[in-house]
């Protein structure tokens, strides 16, 4: 981890995983922002009086390995690209530091509200398993019986919770994307996601606004597909990816 970033994180008061569960916000409104690592180092000291940082076994920055699944014709990706109001993601998220994995279904409805559900999973997901097929059928209103691995995304995550425990912020750095033999790395890119009820005043949103950063509407999954699956439909994501590339160049 960047030494300056590591030193900056020490200034935050810690919050435990149990306490953070109070702000789990499985149903929420999300805002995403793309900034550089240097911008993050400028912002973080201004947040330490307003947020606590997740700490587990004295660690404050955690490695995530996420494998996204899609149909062979990339139906879930195309739903995002085509702007479908109700759309889904299916992924296996592994918390590398603890070697714990979950199969997650992420649903965004036509009101812009995101709902995430998950079950404990092995590292290799067997979609023929009855418990997994039942789980997906209960939550997804599209046929996901033929899911296959689509793209792998790895990153480091810092998690903050505001002092009133009603807003959660994730900060992802060191993003890398891979599909089979193709890969891309965004070392200087930081993705910030602010998760709340959409009504709570937010110190980090205020800071980002004052620095002229605007929310972006592209997910890490769709950005990775844009970068590495160039034979897929991608024009609707082009403006956002070009903004990101210009930002970190």
Confidence (pLDDT) at 10: 94
Is the separation of the CB atoms in 101 and 120 below 8 Å?
A: yes
Helical residues (DSSP H) of the chain, grouped into ranges:
3-9, 17-20, 37-43, 75-81, 130-139, 203-210, 220-228, 238-248
Confidence (pLDDT) at 25: 56
**Per-residue pLDDT band at 89 (split at 50, 70, 90):** very high
- Predicted structure pTM score: 0.90
**Domains defined for the chain, CATH in brackets:** 3-248 (2.40.320.10)
- Per residue in 137-175, pLDDT (tens digit) is 998 888 888 899 999 999 999 999 998 878 899 999 999
Confidence (pLDDT) at 24: 57
Confidence (pLDDT) at 172: 97
Confidence (pLDDT) at 27: 56
Q: Percent of the chain beyond pLDDT 70?
A: 96
Q: Give the range among 22-31, 54-63, 89-98 with minimum mean pLDDT.
A: 22-31
Structure tokens at 174: 């060191």
Residue 14 in this model has a pLDDT that exceeds 80 = yes
Q: Which of 54, 83, 248, 73 is nearest to 156 (CA)?
A: 54
Positions of E strands within the chain: 13-15, 27-36, 51-54, 62-70, 87-95, 100-108, 114-121, 148-162, 167-179, 182-186, 189-196
Confidence (pLDDT) at 173: 96
Residue 201 in this model has a pLDDT that exceeds 70 = yes
In this structure, what DSSP letter does residue 147 have? Answer: -
Report the mean per-residue pLDDT for the chain: 89
Query: Is residue 231 exposed (0-12), middle (13-18) or buried (19+ Cβ within 10 Å)?
Result: exposed
- Per residue in 174-192, pLDDT (tens digit) is 999 999 889 999 989 999 9
């Amino acid at each position: 981890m960047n030494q300056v970033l590591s030193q900056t994180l020490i200034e935050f008061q810690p919050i435990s995983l149990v306490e953070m569960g109070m702000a789990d916000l499985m149903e929420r409104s999300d805002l995403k922002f793309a900034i550089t690592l240097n911008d993050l180092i400028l912002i973080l000291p201004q947040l330490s009086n307003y947020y606590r940082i997740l700490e587990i076994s004295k660690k404050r920055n955690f490695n995530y390995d996420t494998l996204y699944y899609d149909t062979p014709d990339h139906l879930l990706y195309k739903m995002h690209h085509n702007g479908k109001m109700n759309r889904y993601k299916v992924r296996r998220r592994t918390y590398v530091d603890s070697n714990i994995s979950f199969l997650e279904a992420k649903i965004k409805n036509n009101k812009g509200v995101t709902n995430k559900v998950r079950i404990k999973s092995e590292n290799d997901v067997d979609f023929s398993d009855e418990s997994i097929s039942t789980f997906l059928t209960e939550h997804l209103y599209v046929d996901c019986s033929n899911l296959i691995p689509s793209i792998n995304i790895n990153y480091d995550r810092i998690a903050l919770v505001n002092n009133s425990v009603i807003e959660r912020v994730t900060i992802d750095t060191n993003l890398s994307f891979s599909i089979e033999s193709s890969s891309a790395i965004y070392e200087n890119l930081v993705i910030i996601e602010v998760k709340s009820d959409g009504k709570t005043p937010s110190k980090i949103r205020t800071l980002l606004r004052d620095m002229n950063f605007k929310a972006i509407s592209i997910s890490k999954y769709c950005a990775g597909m844009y970068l590495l699956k160039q034979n897929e439909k991608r024009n609707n994501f082009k403006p956002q990816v070009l903004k990101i590339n210009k930002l970190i160049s």
